[in-house]
Amino acid sequence: MSEKKFTTTSNIEIKEVYTEPSEMNELPGEFPFTRGIQKDMYRGRPWTMRQYAGFSTAEESNKRYHYLLGQGTMGLSVAFDLPTQIGYDSDHELAEGEVGKVGVAIDSLKDIEILFDGIELKNITTSMTINATAPILLAMYIALAKKQGADLKQISGTIQNDILKEYAARGTYIYPPEASMRLITDVFEYCSKEVPKWNTISISGYHIREAGSTAVQELAFTLANGKTYLKAALQKGLDINVFAKRLSFFFNCHNNFFEEIAKFRAARRMWAHITKELGATDAGAQKLRFHTQTGGSTLTAQQPMNNIVRVTNQALAAVLGGTQSLHTNGYDEAISLPTEAAAKIALRTQQIIAFESGATDTVDPLAGSYFIEALTDDIEKAAQVYIDKIDIMGGSVKAIEQDYIQQEIARSAYEYQTEIESGERVLVGVNKFTEAEAPAINVFRVDDSIRKMQSEKISSLKNSRDNNAVNNCLQKLGDAANGTANLMPFILDAVENYATLGEISDTLRHVFGEY
Dump pLDDT digits (tens) for 244-267: 998 999 999 999 999 999 999 999
Q: Residue type for 101, please?
A: K
Question: What is the model's pLDDT at position 1?
Answer: 45
Residue 2 pLDDT > 50, yes or no?
Answer: no
Dump pLDDT digits (tens) for 437-485: 776 777 766 667 889 999 999 999 999 999 999 999 999 999 999 999 9
* DSSP line for 215-232: HHHHHHHHHHHHHHHHHH
DSSP state of 338: P
The phi and psi torsions of 219 (rounded to 5 degrees) equal -65, -50
Residue 334 near residue 300 (C-beta atoms within 8 A): yes
How far is C-alpha 434 from the chain's CA centre? 33
Residue 342 near residue 349 (C-beta atoms within 8 A): no
Mapping DSSP to helix (H, G, I), strand (E, B) and coil, where does residue 71 land?
coil
Cα–Cα–Cα angle for 128, 134, 138, rounded to 5 degrees: 70
Residue 117 near residue 60 (C-beta atoms within 8 A): no
Question: What is the model's pLDDT at position 179?
Answer: 95
Residue 342 near residue 329 (C-beta atoms within 8 A): no
Q: Residue type for 305, please?
A: M
Nearest Cα neighbor of 388 from 289, 270, 249 is 270
Dump pLDDT digits (tens) for 103-159: 999 999 999 999 999 999 999 999 899 999 999 999 999 999 999 999 999 999 999
Q: Within the chain, what is the greatest distance between any pair of CA atoms?
A: 79
Dump pLDDT digits (tens) for 354-378: 999 989 989 999 998 999 999 999 9
Strand partners, 439: none
* DSSP line for 241-281: HHHGGGEEEEEEE-S-HHHHHHHHHHHHHHHHHHHHHTT--
Residue 48 pLDDT > 80, yes or no?
Answer: yes
Terminal CA-to-CA distance of the chain, rounded, Å? 55
Per-residue 3-state assignment (H helix, E strand, C coil) for 113-124: HHHCCCCCHHHC
Distance CA 480, CA 482 (A): 5
